[in-house]
């Protein structure tokens, strides 16, 4: 079963001229939808009227048999039979025209919806409704986190039951999908409760309690993790047997390479790479300077990896020092130094899951050392990161993935921060521009945190022709503009011995 994703675009910047053009197109298509729908209804009513006329004829001439099969090219004998035949043909023609016109009306309506999605009419309403739901759940979760957690568990089990009924297997994916509407609010409320946020903070802010709670946890977990995992970082350049990351001329290509790097890290025998390996690509400019693209995979969970589960909490802390000192952030920053990234060189970072949180941390807490022009994240909870004002952010999220909701807040909707939000579409919704297919093996539904879903979500959004998305993609290209010089791969390990103290 092929899966499809349909997307909406939130935030970003667009101009007044774009507003006028999109509004005119939307109004025109919506108007044509209404006109054609009314026309189709008239054709249907005409067919009904003719059918009634046919019944009148049959009553007036009861001896005449009604045609029971498709009329032949030659009309039946007799005036009554001839009239019955002509009415039957007219009824069929009216129904056929009605169906055709209705299809045209539906297509105009669908195109109007796509224009509205591209322009942001529906997206803004969706964001407002989502924010209201999140706030209500947040307040309830802060008041009684246990009760709301039980409700969440119940919804998840209901989703799992649905998955079993439809696919024959209990899956976490169905649990996540069933609870998508409450994930951010539940986590925000629990974070407020853990951090001791005031009622005013709970009302006025979303997600700040999660960051504060992460900071409190980090104060305890980071020293404990150093004792268990070690605190010394080892970094070395490695060479790939294959090249998962190459020249990137747009955001879609960079996302595809990010996915390729993750697969290469997991397939050591073929790629020559291993877990906790990032890629740094250099682009030479005509003025003698360099631009850089840093590709960062997600959490691997290995015992000696700087991209372990524990580092996620540190990266989400509200304390800049704790974020910057997370093993994963230190690893990427040191690898950038060794690759030759100089202060003032334009840098773009792209990451999946924890990789995206690292990218946001570099853009927030390493501003004195690196000039980050653009950050692209896939499934990363970064809403609470104080990304530098000059940095553009393109976030891709699925609306039912729990990981992206861990920050307890929706991403800011502003000119330089754009969010592509993907949703699973109906399995047969493969119409042009309506959705994009997910490049993943068939089987039971899996978690949409897989990068294949983010690729499909971005592809669906790109098909809309949204000006804000096009501007972000253009800015990404300009950030790394230059002649591609190759990609180096850097592997990190954490232990008791290494090259750098914590």
**Per-residue pLDDT, 120:** 67
SS3 of residue 360 by DSSP: helix
Burial group, residue 342, by CB count within 10 angstroms (0-12, 13-18, 19+):
middle
Nearby residues of 27 by Cβ (< 8 Å), 6 or more positions away: none
Give the domain ranges of the chain: 16-119, 121-206, 207-495
* pLDDT reported for residue 73: 43
DSSP per-residue letters across 430-460: --TTT-EE--S-SSS---TTSHHHHHHHHHH
Q: Residue 70: its pLDDT value, please?
A: 46
pLDDT of residue 502: 38
What pLDDT is attached to residue 203?
81
Neighbours of 427 (CB within 10 A): 10
DSSP state letter for 339 = H
- Ranges of the chain with pLDDT below 70: 1, 13-21, 57, 59-80, 118-123, 426-434, 497-502
Buried b (16+ CB within 10 A) or exposed e, 187-202: bbbbbbbbbebeeebb
Residue 13 has what pLDDT?
64
For 356-386, b/e burial (b = at least 16 CB within 10 A) is bbbbbbbbbbbbeebbbbbbbbbbbbbbbbe
**8 Å CB contact between 302 and 472:** no
- For the chain, what is the total number of helices (H) and then of strands (E)? 16, 10
The whole-model pTM stands at: 0.82
- pLDDT score of 298: 97
pLDDT tens per residue across span 262-301: 999 999 999 999 999 999 999 999 999 999 999 999 999 9
User: What local confidence, expressed as pLDDT, does residue 205 receive?
Assistant: 79
pLDDT digits (tens, 9 = 90+) for 15-56: 444 566 677 787 888 889 899 999 999 999 998 888 887 777
């Amino acid at each position: 079963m092929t899966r499809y994703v349909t997307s909406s675009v939130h935030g970003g910047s667009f101009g007044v001229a774009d507003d006028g053009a999109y509004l005119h197109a939307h109004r025109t298509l919506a108007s044509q939808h209404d006109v054609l729908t009314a026309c189709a209804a008239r054709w249907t009513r005409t067919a009904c009227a003719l059918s009634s006329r046919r019944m009148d004829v049959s009553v007036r001439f009861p001896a005449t048999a009604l045609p029971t099969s498709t009329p032949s090219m030659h009309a039946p004998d007799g005036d009554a039979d001839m009239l019955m035949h002509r009415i039957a043909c007219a009824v069929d023609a009216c129904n056929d025209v009605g169906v055709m016109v209705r299809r045209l009306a539906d297509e105009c309506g669908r195109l109007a919806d796509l224009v509205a999605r591209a322009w942001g009419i529906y997206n803004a309403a969706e964001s407002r409704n989502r924010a209201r739901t999140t706030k209500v759940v947040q307040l309830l979760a802060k008041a009684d986190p246990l009760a709301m957690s039980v409700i969440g568990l119940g919804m998840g089990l209901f989703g799992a039951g649905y998955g079993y009924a439809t696919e024959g297997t209990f899956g976490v994916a169905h649990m996540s999908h069933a609870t998508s509407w409450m994930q951010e609010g539940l986590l925000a409320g629990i974070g407020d409760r853990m951090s001791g946020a005031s009622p005013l903070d709970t009302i006025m802010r979303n997600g700040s309690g999660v960051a504060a709670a992460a900071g409190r946890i980090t104060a305890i977990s980071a020293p404990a993790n150093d004792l268990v995992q070690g605190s010394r970082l080892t970094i070395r350049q490695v060479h790939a047997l294959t090249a998962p990351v190459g020249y990137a001329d747009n955001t879609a290509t960079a996302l595809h390479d990010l996915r390729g790097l993750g697969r290469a890290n997991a397939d050591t025998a073929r790629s020559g790479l291993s877990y906790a390996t990032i890629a740094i690509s250099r682009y030479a400019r005509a003025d003698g300077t360099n631009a850089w693209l840093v590709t960062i995979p997600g959490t691997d969970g290995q015992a000696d990896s700087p991209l372990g589960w524990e580092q996620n909490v540190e990266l989400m802390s509200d304390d800049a020092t704790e974020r910057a000192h997370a093993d994963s952030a230190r690893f990427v920053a040191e690898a950038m130094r060794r690759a030759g990234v100089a202060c003032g060189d334009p840098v773009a970072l792209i990451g999946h899951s924890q990789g995206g949180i690292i990218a946001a941390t570099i853009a927030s807490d390493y501003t004195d050392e690196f000039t980050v022009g653009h950050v692209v994240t896939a499934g990363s909870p970064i809403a609470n990161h104080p990304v530098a004002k000059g940095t553009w952010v393109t976030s891709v999220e699925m609306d039912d993935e729990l990981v992206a909701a861990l920050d307890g807040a929706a991403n800011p909707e502003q000119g330089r921060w754009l969010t592509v939000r993907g949703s699973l579409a109906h399995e047969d919704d493969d119409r042009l521009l309506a959705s994009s297919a997910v490049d993943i093996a068939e089987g039971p539904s899996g978690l949409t945190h897989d990068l294949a879903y983010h690729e499909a979500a971005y592809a669906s959004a790109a098909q809309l022709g949204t000006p804000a998305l096009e501007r972000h993609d253009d800015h990404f290209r300009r950030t790394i503009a230059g002649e591609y010089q190759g990609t180096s791969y850097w592997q990190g390990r954490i232990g008791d011995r290494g090259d750098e103290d914590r």
